[in-house]
Amino acid sequence: MENTQKTFRSNSLTSQEFIELEEKWCAHNYRPIPVVLTEGKGVWVWDVEGKKYLDMMSAYSAVSHGHCNPKLLSALTEQANRLSMCSRAYYTDVLPLFLQKLCFLTNMDCALPMNTGAEAVETTIKAVRRWGYFVKKIPENKAEIIVMARNFHGRTTGIISFSSDTDYKHGFGPFLPGFKEIPFGDTKALEAAITPHTCAVLTEPVQGEAGVIVPPKGWLTEVSNICKKHNVLLIVDEVQSGFGRTGKMFACQHENVQPDGMILGKALGGGFFPVSALVGKDHLMRVFTPGSHGSTFGGNPLGAAVALRALELTEEEKLPERSAELGDYLMFQLKAIQSPCIQDVRGQGLWIGLDIKKEYASARLVCEKLKENGVLSKETHETVVRLAPPLVISREELDWGIGQIRKTIENL
């Protein structure tokens, strides 16, 4: 049957009308904050009625470089005008430069480019299992990966198989075997969980989706030592924490830990393009052979050009240093808010979770009120409001946001 619905491309509709259209035509796998965005620049975004908001969510760190960053936009358009897509059936003059830069930055030997974070995690599961069989000589199909309770690594069927969140799993079984869950931050549990069949430990350095949970100091170092002792690979998922979010280029650098593999995504695409990668040491990465893994779009020239420029900008504009300095400032200012509604303020760099006491308000309600006051955030679970602005934010812009947050909390 012919679709008789009119399609709209301009701002001829109101926010409410766009929301109704999206609710009708888009699967309900998200529950968005009711705001309809049409433009972004730096740390600011505008809705279709022209109201301006400070983005304190940055698309879960994908927009760390700021919205429509002009330098990244020119890298994108330049490459788009030259060669945008060609599969890995051929070499290009941009992919190796991007991956070389990525390996220098992470102190790794080799990278496998993919598109989304979840794909890079899936890539990792394949890599560490193969390493387990080929190098560690684990008997076939016995490899185990140790993961953390309340982890978040993406939404594919493989990944949700080891999620501890029942919402992520409900109705999607049967699940992939071969994972063992231990509490986050507990080294004793880790020692106890390792068997001769353990090939890897997979962890976030800071648990983002769980509510910006920072592990005890020294924990990751201890994990790294335990892994070495038992010939187990350490894989750190830095998809959200990477590229300055926590105040270091990578969160594992807070502990000077060098993992065997690192999973990257989100900010790697500069807010323009999905670019992800598994980067690792040779002993892990050489398990890949032609045909053992692939992706039509992974490593495409357009994504590679933007990602290369995004890496350069992260260094040139000192985004990790900015994040450390402004993150400390934000933390100090939030802790200074005297309100009985606040249970806890925690985080690292410009990545802060504001835990709201249930009896006062849900995190969702706080996010909706923040939106009314011109600040965009998004709740995670029932109680946590996450604050993670683009790392290019200025002190003045941050001050404005802090003022609005204070006002919102004080009026709950």
Ligand X SMILES: *Cc1c(COP(=O)(O)O)cnc(C)c1O
Residues with catalytic roles: 152, 237, 266
Which span sits near ligand X by CB under 6 A: 98-106, 149-157, 224-232, 388-396? 149-157
Q: Which helix (H) or strand (E) holds 225?
A: helix 219-229
**Site size toward ligand X, by CB under 6 A:** 14
| CA atoms within 13 Å, Cβ hemisphere of 378 | 18
Using alpha carbons, list the distances in angstroms from residue 242 to 109, 157, 262. Answer: 18, 24, 9
Residue whose CB is less far from ligand X, 54 or 264: 264
164 vs 168: CA distance, rounded Å: 8
| CA atoms within 13 Å, Cβ hemisphere of 93 | 3
Minimum CB separation of residue 238 from ligand X in Å reads: 7
62 vs 75: CA distance, rounded Å: 17
Q: Does 60 bind ligand X (CB under 6 A)?
A: yes
Minimum CB separation of residue 122 from ligand X in Å reads: 9
Using alpha carbons, list the distances in angstroms from residue 193 to 14, 176, 320. Answer: 55, 19, 34
Ranges of H-type helices in 277-383: 282-285, 301-316, 319-335, 363-372
Minimum CB separation of residue 398 from ligand X in Å reads: 23
Binding mask 208-247 for ligand X (x = CB under 6 A): x----------------------------x-xx-------
Residue whose CB is less far from ligand X, 44 or 175: 175
Q: Does 122 bind ligand X (CB under 6 A)?
A: no
Q: Nearest CA to 371 among 14, 20, 33, 57? A: 33
Q: Which helix (H) or strand (E) holds 376?
A: strand 375-376
Which span sits near ligand X by CB under 6 A: 74-82, 86-94, 113-121, 290-298? 113-121
Give the one residue of 152, 162, 272, 351 binding ligand X; rule: CB under 6 A.
Answer: 152
Minimum CB separation of residue 396 from ligand X in Å reads: 29
Tokens read off for 39: 């433009």
Q: Which of residues 253-312 bind ligand X (CB under 6 A)?
A: 265
Minimum CB separation of residue 211 from ligand X in Å reads: 13
Tokens read off for 386: 């996450």
Minimum CB separation of residue 250 from ligand X in Å reads: 12
Taking CB atoms, the residue at the shortest distance from ligand X is 117
Q: What are phi and psi of 109, to 5 degrees?
A: -100, -25
Residue whose CB is less far from ligand X, 278 or 342: 278
Residue whose CB is less far from ligand X, 58 or 240: 240
Ranges of H-type helices in 9-113: 15-25, 58-61, 70-80, 95-106
Tokens read off for 235: 């894989």
Q: Does 351 bind ligand X (CB under 6 A)?
A: no
CA 49 to chain centroid: 30
Residue whose CB is less far from ligand X, 147 or 402: 147
Q: Does 123 bind ligand X (CB under 6 A)?
A: no
The radius of gyration of the chain's CA atoms, rounded to the nearest angstrom, is 22
Binding mask 172-191 for ligand X (x = CB under 6 A): --------------------
Minimum CB separation of residue 137 from ligand X in Å reads: 30
Q: Does 117 bind ligand X (CB under 6 A)?
A: yes
64 vs 56: CA distance, rounded Å: 10
- The contact set with ligand X (CB under 6 A) reads 60, 116-118, 121, 152-154, 204, 208, 237, 239-240, 265
